[in-house]
Amino acid sequence: MQRKEVVEFFHPLIATAVYRSIPPGVRVGMHGMAAQALVDDGHGPTAAARHLLEMHPEGDPWVVQQLRRAARESFSAGAPDAARRYLARALREPPEAEHRAEVLFELGSANLLHDPVTTINQLRTALEEPSTAPELREAITYRLAQALGHTGQLAQAAELLAEEARHATNSRTRLRMQAEQFKWNSVRVDEENSPARSRLLSQFAKRIVGRGLAERHILGLRAWDAALRGEPVGTALEYAEQALDGGMSWIDQDFGFEVPAVVALTLMYCDQPGRAEELFNTAIMEFEAKGWRGAHLSFVYTLLGYIRYRRGRLAEAEDFVRNGLQIADRIGHDIPAQWYAIGTLIETLLARGNVAEARQVARTYKLADGGFPRAVVYPDPQAVWGKLLLAQGRIEEAEHHLSTAGKRLDLRGTRNPSWSPWQLDLALAQVTHDTELAAATAAEAVVRARAFGASSVIGHALRVAATAAEPARAAVLLKEAVDHLDQSPAAAELAHALIDHGTALHTLGDPHQAAQQLYRGMETAAACGADALVDRARAQIASAGLRPRRLSSSEQERLTVAELAAARHAARGLDNAAIAKELRIDSRTVAARLSAAFTKLGTDRLGLGRALGD
């Protein structure tokens, strides 16, 4: 047997010079021989693919086959960019007519994360291919609906699914198509009858007996719908738990990441943000392992920032949201991922007291132009714009936008002030000129908050209601607000209520209790990064003639021994009075220790046992 000689070049410049000296036709032929040799020797299609990319397209089915295999290997290994190059080259070969739809589908799927507009063109072309197998046509439909949804074309996504469902002969396929319709219709601004869709979704969820992935997605959508409509927390949590029972993958391209995301957010609205963060952290790990750096990762970073904002970890929230916005900006303009990040960033900056910076973000993204998105986005962009106007003192404009947003959301049946506190911000605008009107608006928000039942939103609503009440009544409302917020993980809102309560107590001539609330509120605000609240508390302390106190920097993630002891008793079902008796301390100390535990663990009393691992 003739021994093969292998020539190796130690300097890349020499290797490049020799390579370029080979005549082009010969060089292309040698690449083909190298690719064949690598495959024959068992090195696999990915090793051969770099040579196949250099070959001239000749309609060779073997080349198409190897490039498709290399793309699958690259995608699984977390190299989607390489997968897109291989599939684009396979399409130019071109593939045989019966395989063209498959290649277009694979290429469109790979492009979805980074270039959804191109994906739409490729998948529409794939659907137009003759004699497409039913299973492939179904998969193309789901992926095309995703691409349409991510570019804000929600009506088209829903219509596509409805049309394909009419032709489906398999009952499971129809159920899956209906689940996808529920998903995209739920975020359509132009949906004609949202309450009817909610009723139909509720009926579907009640009839589900299996626990396949399509069924779990319907249950997840039902949980989300319950949260938006302001149904009791228990209802939303029950459906969320059923959806999670059996697991949900964030990287299942057939089902998408949207339903796992809204299930996580349902937990957040139900005062379980710590558990929601666990789910989003899992998503980030799964996306990064796959090499997914597109719209999916933008959404997750932004929504994780939104959760941190709701927990009162404002500096961390700002970092996450800026990362999400940076990714969204690279993908395209006026897409849902960008709108999510813009609204959350403005909310976070306002919570920190950075009104000028929030105004600059709004100006950069032309929020004042009124071109709000075609998708349902949270936080609601028009309500966020109204809140920013309020922070700038532009009361009349703020009222207009907050009222308009509220009417639109009420027509959809979205009545939960935890999802959109437009009523609360509207009351704060109205109180500047019409106390009675503000009181009525806030009272309605309190009713809605109590109907939902999450302590964080009840406390928020009561705090706002206090702004329209006479001093004695305001102090009562603020005490109740603090009591509720002490049972929640909403640290920034707790700080706000504490400072308001301390201010009210000082007005009523109770300096001792006022000092306790003001000092605690200032320290809580400082731990949150709510600089404007800290300044306000300092000013109030000074005006009350109280001595300033050095801010503590002892905020930690881990519970102290005292906090852990109180939390374990609470997880066993003991109320504060019983815990106080067990630990031989007063109820006020128990409330403070539990409040710290709820904030650090990101849960309320209901989720305490799970958060502690008991």
Distance (Å, whole) CA 341 – CA 373: 13
pLDDT of residue 408: 93
Burial of 97 by CB count in 10 Å (0-12 exposed, 13-18 middle, 19+ buried)?
exposed
Which residue pairs from 203-210 have beta carbons closer than 8 angstroms and sit at least 24 positions apart in sequence? 204/178, 205/239
Taking residue 510's Cβ as centre, other Cβ atoms within 10 Å add up to 15
pLDDT score of 256 more than 80: yes
Render pLDDT for 190-235 as a digit per residue (tens, 0 to 9).
888 888 899 989 998 888 876 788 889 999 999 999 999 999 999 9
Percent of the chain at pLDDT exceeding 90: 50
pLDDT of residue 553: 47
pLDDT of residue 551: 59
Cβ proximity of 320 and 359 under 8 Å: no
pLDDT of residue 214: 85
**Tokens 């970073």 -> residue:** 301
More confident residue, 131 or 70: 70
DSSP 8-state code for residue 188: B
Render pLDDT for 91-124 as a digit per residue (tens, 0 to 9).
999 899 889 999 999 999 888 877 888 999 999 9
Distance (Å, whole) CA 409 – CA 390: 20
Cβ proximity of 502 and 516 under 8 Å: yes
- pLDDT band of residue 476 (cuts 50, 70, 90) is very high
Rg value, the chain, Cα: 29
Residue 278 contacts by C-beta under 8 Å, 6 or more apart in sequence? none
pLDDT score of 3 more than 80: no
Which whole number is the average pLDDT over 142-158?
A: 87
> Lowest-confidence range among 65-69, 211-215, 461-465?
211-215
pLDDT score of 184 more than 50: yes
pLDDT of residue 73: 87
pLDDT of residue 402: 97
Query: Which pTM does this prediction carry?
Result: 0.83
pLDDT of residue 210: 63
Burial of 23 by CB count in 10 Å (0-12 exposed, 13-18 middle, 19+ buried)?
exposed
pLDDT of residue 16: 64
pLDDT of residue 554: 46
Q: How far apart, in Å, are the Cα atoms of 451 and each of 96, 200, 454?
A: 60, 22, 9
- pLDDT band of residue 477 (cuts 50, 70, 90) is very high
Helix (H, G, I), strand (E, B) or coil at 584: coil
pLDDT of residue 113: 72
Render pLDDT for 29-49 as a digit per residue (tens, 0 to 9).
777 787 788 887 888 888 888
Pick from 386, 312, 291, 372: nearest CA to 338? 372
Which whole number is the average pLDDT over 174-190?
A: 83
More confident residue, 303 or 150: 303
Residue 425 contacts by C-beta under 8 Å, 6 or more apart in sequence? 383, 386, 387, 390, 398, 402
- pLDDT band of residue 396 (cuts 50, 70, 90) is very high
Cβ proximity of 499 and 514 under 8 Å: no
pLDDT score of 55 more than 90: no
Burial of 166 by CB count in 10 Å (0-12 exposed, 13-18 middle, 19+ buried)?
exposed
Cβ proximity of 485 and 456 under 8 Å: yes
Which whole number is the average pLDDT over 322-348?
A: 90
Mean of the per-residue pLDDT values for the chain? Answer: 88
Taking residue 33's Cβ as centre, other Cβ atoms within 10 Å add up to 11
pLDDT score of 280 more than 80: yes
More confident residue, 73 or 546: 73
User: Cα dihedral angle (336, 419, 216, 603), rounded to 10 degrees?
Assistant: 120
Which whole number is the average pLDDT over 242-258?
A: 86
Q: Is the peptide bond before 94 cis (omega within 30 degrees of 0)?
A: yes
Cβ proximity of 321 and 339 under 8 Å: no
- pLDDT band of residue 549 (cuts 50, 70, 90) is low
Taking residue 88's Cβ as centre, other Cβ atoms within 10 Å add up to 17
pLDDT score of 344 more than 80: yes
- pLDDT band of residue 434 (cuts 50, 70, 90) is very high
The tokens for 559 are 């519970």
- pLDDT band of residue 23 (cuts 50, 70, 90) is low
User: Which amino acid is residue 427, in one-letter code?
Assistant: A
Domains (ranges, CATH) in the chain? 18-149 (1.25.40.10), 192-346 (1.25.40.10), 351-545 (1.25.40.10), 560-614 (1.10.10)
Percent of the chain at pLDDT exceeding 70: 93
pLDDT score of 580 more than 80: yes
pLDDT score of 1 more than 50: no
Which whole number is the average pLDDT over 445-472?
A: 98
pLDDT score of 403 more than 50: yes
> Lowest-confidence range among 84-98, 175-189, 296-310?
175-189
- pLDDT band of residue 134 (cuts 50, 70, 90) is confident
Which whole number is the average pLDDT over 520-529?
A: 93
Distance (Å, whole) CA 485 – CA 233: 16
More confident residue, 17 or 422: 422
DSSP 8-state code for residue 42: T
The tokens for 508 are 């009523």
